[in-house]
Chain A
Amino acid sequence: MSASASAPSVSLPIGKGISDRLRKKASRHVKERIIEFLLFCAAAFSVFVTVAIVWVLVKESWVFFETVPLSDFLFDTQWTPLFDDAHYGIMVLLSGTITSSAVALVVAIPLGTVIALYLSEFAGFKLREIAKPFLELLGGVPTIVYGYFALTFLTPILQKIYPDLPGFNLLSAGLVMGVMIIPYVASLSEDAMRAVPMSLREGSYAMGATRLQTALWVVTPAATSGIASAYILGISRAVGETMILAVAAGMQPKLTFNPTEPGATITSYIVQVALGDLPHGSIGYQTIFAAGLTLLLMTLAFNLLGYWLRKRFREVY
């Protein structure tokens, strides 16, 4: 773009009086620069906030890891930061997060996918236009409501089936969390399926395929990358979900992968400490930054996985 790069080898006329229309306009130039700067500021703001959050987490975690060795953090099987005999085994909280997320995903992924397939490939236009807003409404319910729904409605029902189930448990919280995630999985998967061009469906029907064959053998494989990102988003939501678990899962740190037991997750532990009256700067207070950093690394890993899946399976239609 630079003018000097194309220095003319022959001298071309640039008349003494450049006509006004051709002359560069200072005002236009300035206006462009101002707009460009404002747009840059808007973009930079989000980057700045992200960097600031990571900075705080890493800095505070650093203080924590100066006292607690990383090996204890990763391999200790107890999480008792507030006891005299303090242990800082993140595996305990991680087990609660993994167990509750697994329960949620067992609900959300099959149901979400089936709903998406139905809405995209089978439902009529009118039904889809009515059903989709309702589905998305399900995702707009505040999670605290889901939490009490799990605690006061679902747990008593589960206790009738399985009388030994404690009042606080990961199973009930996980199941309700699954219901909460369904709309994200279903809505995004449906978008991905709808984006599959009609020509592929017509090709399939023209070969004598049924609707189900077309949906399962042509549309779903063609939408793989979008469906995979829907799943990844579902996983991220499950890992990061807080209130349902804080309310219904019991906040008792315990190394267990059994969903019928109570448990604490990384997020519900952070709520517990943040609401408590631990003095700032104490090692107990510092734990929430280490836990938060773990959570951030987990969601980052899933985002990267989602990015890789999108690139790997992207369909060029």
Chain B
Amino acid sequence: MQIPSGLEAGVEGDLLKAEVRDLDFYYGGFHALKHVTMPVHDRKVTALIGPSGCGKSTLLRCFNRMHDLYPGNRYAGGGIVLHPDNTNLLAQEVDPIEVRMRISMVFQKPNPFPKSIYENVAYSLRVRGMRNKNELDDRVEAALKGAALWNEVSNRLNELGANLSGGQQQRLCIARALASDPEIILFDEPTSALDPIATASIEELVTELKENVTILIVTHNMQQAARISDFTAYMYLGEMVEFGITDQIFIKPTKKATEDYITGRFG
């Protein structure tokens, strides 16, 4: 896999998994995303950073159409083109359930279902109608291994997911998201409720996952963005201020606003 040496080189050398194009989004009357444009590179980690309320989580939740769940939310222009389909995810004709089957999500606070560890992971397969016990067993095992949780839980798959520690619960949620072989996984501040050791294990996991999956991660922690991401997008007040290769953004941002935020002078 080639490592891009600059933003332009990255765009040309890498495959794009998705492109956000001139996206506008409203919560009722509040203009939360303003003409946002951003590429998402295939099998890379893209971090979204910015102060609270800047729209980074809002942008993330556009990718799997989570905004459709609540009345009053409105995609008001532009869209997100998913490749290789070359289709706007936000189009009226696109089924959000199909989108969510291909673009999975891990939330801020671990939210395992009130079910066994096994059933938590099998959930995303069961909603697809998978019944075959052997196939389910194999996929659950593979997902738990992928989330680096298998060794800890292989002998207690029937225990409740809620009995695990916080870090294990979050890895269970990652396994749940992995089970269905998604193309993109969205992480919404996945470590903000975890201690430093659990955080380190999740970060390591994210870096391993990008071998096979495209990753978008919202984070408040700039060191985390610097450690694990290949690309970084800095957002402020609903606008995309700067997007670039992570090293470049952190070492030599082109915009003063980005520099101020990254150096901690603001935010």
| Residues of A in contact with B (beta carbons under 8 Å apart) | 124-125, 197, 199-210, 213, 217-218, 221-222, 224, 315-316
Q: In the assembled complex, how far is the CB of residue B202 from the closest CB belonging to chain A, in whole angstroms? A: 17
Question: Which of A200, A202, A208, A210 makes the CB contact (< 8 A) with B180?
Answer: A208
Query: Would you call B162 and A203 a contact (CB within 8 A)?
Result: no
Interface size on B, residues (CB 8 A): 27
Question: Which of B69, B71, B124, B173 makes the CB contact (< 8 A) with A208?
Answer: B124
Scoring A199, A203, A205, A217 by chain B CB atoms within 10 A of each residue's CB, the highest score goes to: A203
Query: Would you call B97 and A210 a contact (CB within 8 A)?
Result: yes
Query: Would you call A208 and B113 a contact (CB within 8 A)?
Result: no
Q: A199-B109, A202-B66, A202-B69 are in contact. Are A315 and B176 (CB under 8 A)?
A: no
Chain B residue numbers with a CB within 8 Å of A203 are: 107, 111-113, 173, 176
Chain B residue numbers with a CB within 8 Å of A197 are: 111
Scoring B112, B113, B173 by chain A CB atoms within 10 A of each residue's CB, the highest score goes to: B113
Chain B residue numbers with a CB within 8 Å of A124 are: 71
Query: Would you call A207 and B177 a contact (CB within 8 A)?
Result: yes
CA distance A206 to B104 in the complex (A): 6
Q: A199-B111, A202-B111, A222-B113 are in contact. Are A207 and B180 (CB under 8 A)?
A: yes
23 residue pairs of the A-B complex, CB under 8 angstroms, read A197-B111, A199-B109, A200-B111, A200-B113, A200-B114, A201-B69, A203-B107, A203-B111, A204-B123, A204-B127, A205-B66, A205-B69, A206-B107, A206-B177, A208-B100, A208-B180, A209-B123, A217-B113, A217-B123, A221-B113, A221-B115, A222-B113, A316-B162
Query: Would you call A208 and B97 a contact (CB within 8 A)?
Result: yes
Query: Any chain A CB within 8 A of the CB of B101?
Result: yes
Q: In the assembled complex, how far is the CB of residue A220 from the closest CB belonging to chain B, in whole angstroms? A: 10
Query: Would you call B114 and A221 a contact (CB within 8 A)?
Result: yes
Chain A residue numbers with a CB within 8 Å of B176 are: 203, 207
Chain A residue numbers with a CB within 8 Å of B111 are: 197, 199-200, 202-203
Chain A residue numbers with a CB within 8 Å of B66 are: 202, 205-206
Chain A residue numbers with a CB within 8 Å of B114 are: 200, 218, 221-222, 224, 315
CA distance A316 to B64 in the complex (A): 28
Q: Closest B-chain residue to A125, C-beta based?
A: B71
CA distance A222 to B120 in the complex (A): 13
CA distance A213 to B176 in the complex (A): 16
> B160-198 vs A: 1/0 string, CB under 8 Å?
001000000000010011001000000000000000000
Q: In the assembled complex, how far is the CB of residue A176 from the closest CB belonging to chain B, in whole angstroms? A: 36
CA distance A224 to B113 in the complex (A): 13
Chain A residue numbers with a CB within 8 Å of B107 are: 199, 202-203, 206
Chain B residue numbers with a CB within 8 Å of A205 are: 66, 69, 100
Within 8 A of A (CB), among B88-134: 97-98, 100-101, 104-105, 107, 109, 111-115, 123-124, 126-128
CA distance A71 to B91 in the complex (A): 75
Chain B residue numbers with a CB within 8 Å of A202 are: 66, 69, 107, 111
CA distance A206 to B180 in the complex (A): 12
> B72-101 vs A: 1/0 string, CB under 8 Å?
000000000000000000000000011011
Q: In the assembled complex, how far is the CB of residue A228 from the closest CB belonging to chain B, in whole angstroms? A: 14
Query: Would you call B113 and A204 a contact (CB within 8 A)?
Result: yes
